[in-house]
Each structure stands twice: as C-alpha cells, then as structure tokens.
Structure 1
Amino acid sequence: MEALLAEPETAEADRLHAATASLLARATSDMARQEFIALLASGQRMLGALREFGTVHCSVGLHRDDVGGGAEPLFSLFTIAWRDTATAPRAATAARAVTASDGHRHVEYLELPCGPLTISEVLRGPATERALPPLPLLQIHAHLPHPDCKRLAVLTVSTTAVARREEYRALLRGIVDTVSFEDPLGAAS
C-alpha cells in the first residue's frame, strides 16, 4: 500500500514509477497504456479509501478453483486493519466485535497463543455500482484484541466465491494461527 500511495518526489514514488515504466513500455498501444494508467489510478483510490478505514495491509489473491474445478479463477482480498476500542478485557473486546448490527454470522470464539479472538462471516448484497460485478460479497473477519486492550486487529478475507466459504474460513484460521503481537526485531527497532 505504501508504494502505491506514495507521496510525489519520494523514494517510494520513484520505485512505483520505475515498476510501472517497464509495464507501460510493454503496452501494445497508447490505448492500452491509458487503460493501465486508469486502472492503476482506480486502484490507488480504492487503497486510499481502505487506508482511511485503518487498513495497514492489503493483498490480492487470484488462484484457480482446486475444489470446484471451475474455469474462472477465484479472486480474494486480504486486509489487516486496526480499530481503536474502549479499554476492556481482551475476551470482552473480541466478543463485542461481532455483536454489532453488521450481520455477523457463523461466529467462533477461539483462544490462541496470541490471545482471544472471534471469527465471523458477513454476507453483503450484490454491488450496485456499475464498475463492480453484481455478485454477493463474502467477508470473513478475525477480530484480535491487542494486549494493550485499546486496539483491535481486524484480519479480513473478502471474496465473491461464496460457495468456497469453508475454504476461505480455513485459510483465515491458518493465518490467525501465525499472529503474534510481539515485535520480531525487539528493542533494535
């Protein structure tokens, strides 16, 4: 996200320019270059909106359907966001995260080495914007309260492959098993 949202005249902006210059040089026409630039700008706007909501990491997944054998690739988005919370015990914060009226379903409460957390699903209706496909969006959230009891890490996998909910749930469970709130660099950072 940092590279795509870099301020002009910074090292990050220079790296983005170098990466996109090679892609633009390979474009087959001026129209293809313009389309690429427009898509990049659109992606930057979307990432900017995600950042405004506390998102600090975003990964895009595009993979074949190993289970269903479908010809179309499956698309997913994985994000990590921070949310400020009222100071409370971590277990209460994890439980409270899924009791809001956001339509959380299939709620699980887990105790892992990183602490208590909840995993839940939200199914959003088809998008009404023309630029988005008219498909329902499945979002699987993991809510992990930080040990300081003032913040909540929200890990989310989003996909339109609603029929693959169990596989995406298992994927998110595997990710949260690796979470730690310790600084791997220690005091050196």
Structure 2
Amino acid sequence: MHESVDDAQAEMWFADPAGFIPVPLSFLLARPGSPEAEAMREAVAPLLDAAPKESVRQRFVAQFALGQQMLGTLCGFGTVHCSLGLHRDDIDPAGTPLLSLFTISWRHTNVAPRGVTAARAATGHTRVAFDEFACGPAALSETTWRSAAESGLPQLPLLQVHAHLPHPDCKRLAVLTVSTTAVARREEYRAVLRRVVETVRFEDPLGAAS
C-alpha cells in the first residue's frame, strides 16, 4: 500500500485502479525553486540530454509546459488526484492501446442529505444509477462530449464515467471520473470505476490516525 494510507490528514482513502499510473501533481506543479521543482528538474534532465537536436528538445519543453498548464487547469477546478491509464484491448488485441484518465475532484455543495446531493450531482447525465457503498450513498453516471471544431482538438467523442460520493459532513462531494475516447468500452470503464468506488473510505480504514 502507498505510504499515504498512514496520513492522518487525509480526507479520503482509495485504491488506484489496475493499469493506472499516478501523476505526481505536487512535483509537476511545484513552485520554482522549491525542493519538488528541483526534483522534477533532475528527473527531466536526462530526457532533455538525450534529445538528438535542439529542435526536438524545444518541442519536448513546449509539450511538457502544455501538460503542466492542463494539469494546473484541472487543479483549479478542485482536482486533487490524477492517474493515466494504459490498457491492452482484450476485445481487439490487434488494436491500439486504450488510453484513459482517472481523476478525483472535490466540490462544495449545499448542506443536504447525502442521497439528495448525489442525485443532484448526476442531473443531466445519462445511465444514472444509485447504490450504497461502504463509503455511503453514491451516484454513477455518464456524459459524452465532443470538442468544438474551432478548438483544434481531435474530433473524437470523449466518454466520461462519473461517481458522485457525498462526504459525511454533507458539505462537499468527491467526484471520481474516468475519461476516455474508447467509447465502445464504456461497460469496461464503468466497471473499473465501480471497483474504485468500492475501495473508497472517508474514515481511516486501518485506524492509523488513532
């Protein structure tokens, strides 16, 4: 288990799904001059040194900066955890690997019973299902988006499977989301997210804090 399981200040506990690699947000978005920023610089230095020419190095720096900007935007909307998923397509093994993104975000809500909060959060979504988990009531739902033509992004549908988990204090909501362009695999990704929700706890599961 990750060392964070013993963090007495944690607000929730969960297990990353299999095949997902956590993104080190605290390092990627560290303030210049901080120990975290220095550690990231040292980690990236070998990649820059391995670039065959300056133009390749500059492209890497630009793409890296764009990634930092996108992660910063996510964190600005309350995202506190992000993992990249890479899986083999068991249905079509000859196809390209399946990419996805798993995030956890916090949202403030009006004080209300937890079941009501979960239902409100899924308003306007499709394939909404309500269930009771170890962490309390939750709503699972889906949304599908497509980038605007003028955005310059690939015109691929983006499936997002959400889990809305109201916190016991009834003042906030944890939103777990798996995003992928592999829309045809919606059932598999929904199952992945459901398994993650089954691991979520809002109280220390090991009693380490006590």
Q: TM-score range by the shorter chain?
A: over 0.9
Q: CA deviation at 1:150?
A: 0.4
Counterpart amino acid of 1:16? Answer: M
- Which stretch of structure 1 is more off in the superposition, 26-35 or 156-165? 26-35
**Of residues 117, 136, 141 in structure 1, which corresponds to 2:157?**
136
CA distance in 1, matches of 2:94, 2:87: 11
Higher-RCO chain (CA-CA 8 Å, sequence separation at least 6): 2
CA distance in 2, matches of 1:61, 1:35: 24
Aligned to 1:89: 113
Aligned to 1:116: 137
Q: CA deviation at 1:127?
A: 4.5
CA distance in 1, matches of 2:177, 2:83: 10
CA distance in 1, matches of 2:189, 2:39: 33
Contact 1:138/1:161 (CA < 8 Å) preserved in 2? yes
Aligned to 1:148: 169
CA distance in 2, matches of 1:18, 1:171: 34
Question: Per the alignment, in what secondary structure is the counterpart of residue 38 of structure 2?
Answer: helix
Q: CA deviation at 1:26?
A: 1.6
Aligned to 2:125: 104
Q: CA deviation at 1:69?
A: 2.3
Aligned to 1:173: 194
- Which stretch of structure 1 is more off in the superposition, 120-129 or 169-178? 120-129
- TM-score, normalised by the number of residues in structure 1: 0.92
CA distance in 2, matches of 1:64, 1:127: 29
Aligned to 2:9: none
**Of residues 30, 36, 47 in structure 2, which corresponds to 1:23?**
47
Question: Per the alignment, in what secondary structure is the counterpart of residue 186 of structure 1?
Answer: coil
For residues 121-155 of structure 1, give each alpha carbon's deviation from its aligned partner in whole angstroms, at most 9, with x where no partner exists: 0011244321x221010000000000111010000
CA distance in 2, matches of 1:113, 1:3: 32
Contact 1:127/1:135 (CA < 8 Å) preserved in 2? no
CA distance in 1, matches of 2:127, 2:94: 26
Q: CA deviation at 1:182?
A: 1.4
Aligned length: 183
Counterpart amino acid of 2:122? Answer: V
Q: CA deviation at 1:96?
A: 1.0
Aligned to 2:92: 68
Aligned to 2:185: 164
Q: What is the percentage of aligned positions where both structures have the same residue?
A: 60
